[in-house]
């Protein structure tokens, strides 16, 4: 339940000038975070020869967003830098952004940006490209994952055992 002034409503992982920053999140819940310029829950950026890496394991990303890109995660590598996001056993539900309702990748100005998603659920995320949006030469590889979309989108490689347009049958605990 955080609101950032610009990027990364829940947290920011940012590095520049050849540095390295690695963050690992296990069993976390990111809910109702707002990053007005992008990365409602997490903003991960490598800038000017830096390397920014995040890993999320068994995390929930619910109702995150903002006016920018990446309702849950904005993964951005620019100016000869790189950013990497590894997502394992996570659920992304009802995140919202202009592009990439759940995850937005951007590799600008000779940067690289890659996301790898395994064994996760993406449901009811809204944004250009639906759950995933890859700008410039960035890539996302997804496997063993359930999506409520018919495809993974441009720049996203669908690996093994994908499930499309199937309701994950969430249970309302309030009942």
pLDDT in tens, 130-157: 899 999 999 999 999 999 887 777 778 8
59/121 Cα distance (integer angstroms): 11
Please write down the HEC assignment for all residues of 1-68: CCECCCECCCEEEEEECCCEEEEEEECCEEECCECCCECCCEEEEEECCCEEEEEEECCEEECCECCC
C-alpha span between 52 and 11 (Å, rounded): 13
Q: How confident is the model at residue 175 (pLDDT cuts 50, 70, 90)?
A: low
d(CA 131, CA 92): 9
> pLDDT category, 174, cuts 50, 70, 90?
low
DSSP 81: -
Tens of pLDDT, residue by residue over 44-92, are 999 999 999 999 999 999 999 978 899 999 999 999 999 999 999 999 9
52 vs 130: CA distance, rounded Å: 24
pTM for this structure? 0.93
């Amino acid at each position: 339940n955080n609101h950032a002034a610009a990027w990364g409503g829940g947290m920011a992982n940012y590095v520049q000038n050849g540095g390295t920053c690695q963050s690992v999140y296990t069993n976390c819940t990111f809910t109702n975070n707002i990053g007005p310029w992008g990365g409602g829950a997490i903003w991960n950026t490598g800038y000017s020869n830096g390397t920014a890496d995040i890993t999320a394991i068994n995390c929930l990303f619910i109702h995150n967003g903002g006016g920018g890109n990446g309702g849950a995660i904005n993964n951005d590598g620019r100016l000869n830098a790189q950013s990497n996001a590894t997502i394992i056993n996570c659920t992304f539900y009802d995140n919202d952004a202009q592009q990439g309702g759940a995850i937005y990748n951007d590799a600008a100005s000779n940067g690289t940006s890659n996301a790898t998603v395994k064994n996760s659920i993406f449901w009811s995320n809204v944004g250009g490209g639906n759950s995933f949006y890859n700008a410039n030469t960035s890539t996302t590889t997804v496997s063993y994952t359930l999506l409520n979309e018919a495809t993974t989108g441009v720049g996203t490689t669908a690996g093994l055992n994908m499930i499309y347009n199937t309701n994950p049958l969430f249970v309302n605990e309030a009942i």
